[in-house]
Structure 1
Amino acid sequence: MNGCSHLQHFIQEEEGLKTYELLHGVFVISGSDERRQAKVLNAFCHVCDKTGIFLHVCMHCTFFACSQHIREHTKTRKHSFAMDITYGQVHCSQCGDYVYEEQLDNIARSNALLGDDVKKSVLELVWPRLHVEDKDWCNKTEKMVIDRTTHIGLRGLLNLGSTCFMNCVVQALTHTPVLRDYFFTEHHQCGTKCLITSLFRDFYTGEKTPLVLNEFLHLIWTQARHLAGYEQQDAHEFFIATLDVLHRHCSITLSGQPSASANKVYRCSCIIDQVFTGSLQSDVVCQKCHGVSTTIDPMWDYSLDLTPCATDGSLPTSLEDCLERFTGAEILGSNCKIFCENCQSYQESTKQFTMRTLPVVLCFHLKRFQHLNDLEKKVSTRIRFPEILDMTPFMTNQKNDNVLHVQLPYDNKYILYAVINHVGTSINAGHYISHIRYQDRYWYKCDDLVVSEAGIEEVLQTEAYLLFYHKYCLEYR
């Protein structure tokens, strides 16, 4: 983060902060009629006339272009920086990627707060540019106010027969900000009509009628046959199966054919792994020679125990408690001796998990269903969870003083954006309900067909089964 020397020079020597503040305020926030009109008049590619969410503005000469032509412009004109006018991200042509700078992020937050003062934001749906006078063009632009009465992106889902588990997972995935944005851009390309892209876009058409996910359900059935059938399924199991299907689909579309890592979670550049994959470090310490054996594994989610602690019998009462137990050192004992390479014999050891790297989206699975002697039991223990989660205490560098790592202010901060809870006493029965963060500051309860308003206080009181946290501050690479 904050690693682009070209951007630092632009800020210090060329009044880059003032330029960004002006462009972001006018073309990203567009908080006044005058600014919205300025956006309408300019927000099209000056080469191919393309409009939409792929547009960038050059920060040196206020030239507008699509993602392809802005790169051609910055290269030929030797202009280093362009800002996308949908989210305000800055692209450095010399680095060949989007770059992050905390000062720009602070400006964006300040502009957003000023926009919040009017309690609304404006989404402009621009028709393809016509060869008419600008005045006529402005009159042909449809402006849609997104306020508390507008529910673009909120749609109920038809229950196809005990498919509430699927509906909740789909609500969480389609409201994952970075995943949603990816499927709205040109980065995801399929040779044929893409069912996954259609699913995401169907949520944001403005329609209010419930969606029927029969095609999506059939897709999962064909790829994860153990989930086929109309019996109630475990939402967590369905979530992992869905990620696997999306992972394989996106791995193929990267190059048009299955990649060498299509069946692996690690070292894959597809969007699913970029968003959901973190790494878990396991350290086994020999109690005789104190030698350490370390393994690092990729993780899509973290399953956390709710059972009594083996040492004192205490129960966890919060998500942080669960994470403390998950990352605490465990004494394996004499019955679980592990072969030590240094000692060349089996020795008693301790084992400890820590978070080596964190993903963009953290998913926590609270293990509420237990199977003992063919009997199933649900743990309904109340587990408190925060709206803002700091993962710093559970990182490898915090647990291991030998690992050097520099922490930046928002590196490990996460914000809650989706919760799935189970109502009932059995995994084979009961009902799943989800709560979704909407427009950053509102919450909605999604119960199959019914989508209703909710408050953060209500959300934090639910009996959570799956928790979804989005990284508070993204690092662009």
Structure 2
Amino acid sequence: MSVHGCQHLSAFKAAKGTDPFRIIYSYFIACPSADARRIKAKSCVCHTCRQTTLRLHACMSCIYFGCYGAKHIHDHAKSKKHNLAIDLTYGTVICFVCEDYVYDKDLEDIARSFSQKPTLNLVGAYIKEPFSTWEPSEDEIQLLKKNPKRRKVNSNSTVGLRGLINLGNTCFMNCIVQALTHTPILRDFFLADRHTCQMPGESKQCLVCEMARLFQEFYSGACTPHIPYRLLHLVWTNARHLAGYEQQDAHEFLIAALDVLHRHCKGTNGMSCSNPHLCNCIIDQIFTGGLQSDVTCKQCNNVSTTIDPIWDISLDLGPGPPAFRFTNSPGNYEPTSLLECLKRFTRPEHLGSSAKIKCGKCHSYQESTKQLTMKKLPVVACFHLKRFEHSTGYHKKISTYVSFPEELDMTPFMSSSRNDNNGFSNQIILDIPTSLSCDNKYSLFAVVNHIGTIEVGHYTCYIRLHKDQWFKCDDHLITKATVTDVLNSEGYLLFYHKQILEYE
């Protein structure tokens, strides 16, 4: 991006002023109201291919939207001699004569007027933008200038990679910290200084403030291992069941950390307009999904539905009851893939005569079936493979290899895919075609693994730094990995990021 000005932009301003930029920025980038966001969602399509594709640009000389990837905006600029366009994702101006994004102080001031402080275009500020195509915006360039600790991140950079010192059986914490600090949209939130502390005068007790400092440490460019003693102290203080130097469960730590983060930043953005009972903090915006439970009366087919918020999906790996076993499968069937686990998780379950419910229509206790589906998908989906089995006097670890894909489509497991016969339509879920809706597709970006037995073990984590670069985090040691290493690992926690982000 050029920061030295552009003669073509200067000539455009001299002829038409800055109103074209102000209007486009107001309606299609800043979107200050819900109505403006709805208008943007309906209007932002490429006028050539009619796709709501990534990196949409708006011509500054006429009413035309064109996609950058297919070069429709380039073709428009060449044919119409309209050389300037605005990137609707980042609000930056591109000059097709200079063949570069250009900087202008007047346009920067206009952009800043829509916000009290410089921010990245994050949650609710764009539609249908894949998380993996991360590039610095003009706002971020200004932040980089003001803070010498910040560094530009590009496709070859290793900024963000940093080991964590084990403070005594704290590998369970280190691997979750690695997963969170490499969660793309959470990273962008903290690097844009979006956090406003809800504990004035007590910021040292705020876990969100500590996470903000942690992100600064990770992306400062330092290569030496970080010592997360303040984070450990705050976790011990706010989740006392995790205090002490005994080995803890990484999944339990994840849920506890999200809970404390949620409590400490609750109210930052007010309450959700669509659901007054749902907090609109950054944790809920990213991690909270809606799990729908449909209980159907066997007598009258009356369906009772409840929807509960969830931060993760826990999936059984052991042999399920007969209702969950696939046709022609042995009686001791155990799922061997994430898709099989999800299919079993969302299949109807007969509750039996010992668990009769009082039907609201029959007004009597009847047998019923229960089915779980996803009503609302989170931005980040975390799948917990239940490898640790605890029963009276019996504890064991399930080390069965469970395959998981690099890309996952959750469409078959949505409530909207449930048919009227308390099941899913007859599609082959075990081999999901790539032609399904892109809106529910996810990309893998972190995998937490447990090595060893239930008594003695160690946690490590694979993280994706860029689109095709994977690294293994083993406390203070960071080594390069391949996607094959990741997909062949004994996954315990699987983190997927939605490929397309949309307005509520």
Q: TM-score, normalised by structure 1?
A: 0.75
- CA deviation string 1:211-233 (max 9, x = no partner): 11111011111111000000000
Give the distance between the partners of 1:163 and 1:186, measured in 2 at CA. 28
Give the distance between the partners of 2:175 and 2:151, measured in 1 at CA. 31
Give the distance between the partners of 2:265 and 2:90, measured in 1 at CA. 35
Cα gap change, 1:217 to 1:266, in 2 (>3 Å) = farther
Q: What code does the residue aligned with 2:109 have?
A: A
Partner of 2:432: none
- CA deviation string 1:204-251 (max 9, x = no partner): 000001011111011111111000000000000000000001101111
Q: What code does the residue aligned with 1:241 have?
A: A
Cα gap change, 1:440 to 1:185, in 2 (>3 Å) = same
Cα gap change, 1:402 to 1:186, in 2 (>3 Å) = farther
State the SS of the aligned residue for 2:438: coil
Give the distance between the partners of 1:174 and 1:330, measured in 2 at CA. 38
**2:296, 2:304 within 8 Å by CA — same for their partners in 1?**
yes
**1:275, 1:360 within 8 Å by CA — same for their partners in 2?**
yes
Partner of 2:411: 392
Structure 1 unaligned segments of length 5 or more: list them. Answer: 47-62, 73-83, 92-96, 116-121, 130-139
Displacement of 1:473 after TM fit? Answer: 0.6
Please tell me whether residue 470 in structure 1 is matched to residue 489 in structure 2. Answer: no
Alignment partner for residue 289 of structure 1, among 300, 318, 333? 300
Q: What code does the residue aligned with 2:320 have?
A: C
**2:295, 2:370 within 8 Å by CA — same for their partners in 1?**
yes
- CA deviation string 1:429-456 (max 9, x = no partner): 2000000001222000000010000000
**1:304, 1:322 within 8 Å by CA — same for their partners in 2?**
yes
Cα gap change, 1:375 to 1:123, in 2 (>3 Å) = farther
Give the distance between the partners of 2:195 and 2:256, measured in 1 at CA. 20
Partner of 1:77: none
**2:382, 2:495 within 8 Å by CA — same for their partners in 1?**
yes
Partner of 2:80: none
- CA deviation string 1:29-80 (max 9, x = no partner): 9999x767x64xx26x54xxxxxxxxxxxxxxxx1237541469xxxxxxxx
- CA deviation string 1:159-195 (max 9, x = no partner): 0000000000000001001111111224311245522
Equivalent positions of 1:172-191 (< 5 A) are: 172-190=179-197, 191=200
Q: What code does the residue aligned with 2:41 have?
A: C
Partner of 2:289: 278
Cα gap change, 1:254 to 1:85, in 2 (>3 Å) = closer
**2:314, 2:384 within 8 Å by CA — same for their partners in 1?**
yes
Partner of 2:145: 127
Please tell me whether residue 460 in structure 1 is matched to residue 497 in structure 2. Answer: no
Q: What code does the residue aligned with 1:399 have?
A: R
Please tell me whether residue 341 in structure 1 is matched to residue 377 in structure 2. Answer: no
Give the distance between the partners of 1:29 and 1:366, measured in 2 at CA. 46
Alignment partner for residue 158 of structure 1, among 140, 165, 185? 165
Q: What code does the residue aligned with 1:315 have?
A: E
Please tell me whether residue 226 in structure 1 is matched to residue 241 in structure 2. Answer: yes
**1:444, 1:454 within 8 Å by CA — same for their partners in 2?**
yes
Partner of 1:98: 125
Please tell me whether residue 419 in structure 1 is matched to residue 447 in structure 2. Answer: yes
Give the distance between the partners of 2:110 and 2:340, measured in 1 at CA. 48
Alignment partner for residue 363 of structure 1, among 362, 368, 382? 382
Alignment partner for residue 299 of structure 1, among 310, 333, 336? 310
Give the distance between the partners of 1:475 and 1:309, measured in 2 at CA. 36
Count of residue pairs brought into register by the alignment: 404
State the SS of the aligned residue for 1:65: helix
Alignment partner for residue 251 of structure 1, among 242, 263, 266? 266
Cα gap change, 1:208 to 1:352, in 2 (>3 Å) = same
State the SS of the aligned residue for 1:127: helix
Alignment partner for residue 4 of structure 1, among 20, 33, 41? 41
Cα gap change, 1:370 to 1:21, in 2 (>3 Å) = farther
After superposition, the CA RMSD in angstroms is 3.9
Give the distance between the partners of 1:237 and 1:225, measured in 2 at CA. 12
Please tell me whether residue 353 in structure 1 is matched to residue 372 in structure 2. Answer: yes
Please tell me whether residue 322 in structure 1 is matched to residue 366 in structure 2. Answer: no
Equivalent positions of 1:28-107 (< 5 A) are: 39=102, 42=103, 46=106, 63-65=107-109, 68-70=112-114, 98-100=125-127
Partner of 1:58: none
Give the distance between the partners of 1:21 and 1:466, measured in 2 at CA. 46
Cα gap change, 1:123 to 1:447, in 2 (>3 Å) = farther
Give the distance between the partners of 1:449 and 1:98, measured in 2 at CA. 36
Give the distance between the partners of 2:195 and 2:407, measured in 1 at CA. 31
- CA deviation string 1:317-349 (max 9, x = no partner): 100000000000001111221111222221111
Structure 2 unaligned segments of length 5 or more: list them. Answer: 1-37, 48-56, 67-72, 78-82, 204-208, 323-330, 423-434
Displacement of 1:21 after TM fit? Answer: 8.7
Please tell me whether residue 442 in structure 1 is matched to residue 486 in structure 2. Answer: no
Cα gap change, 1:174 to 1:29, in 2 (>3 Å) = farther
Partner of 2:23: none
**1:266, 1:298 within 8 Å by CA — same for their partners in 2?**
no
Displacement of 1:15 after TM fit? Answer: 2.3
Give the distance between the partners of 2:351 and 2:340, measured in 1 at CA. 21
Equivalent positions of 1:197-216 (< 5 A) are: 197-216=212-231
Q: TM-score, normalised by structure 2?
A: 0.71
Give the distance between the partners of 2:234 and 2:341, measured in 1 at CA. 34
Alignment partner for residue 451 of structure 1, among 444, 461, 478? 478
Partner of 1:75: none
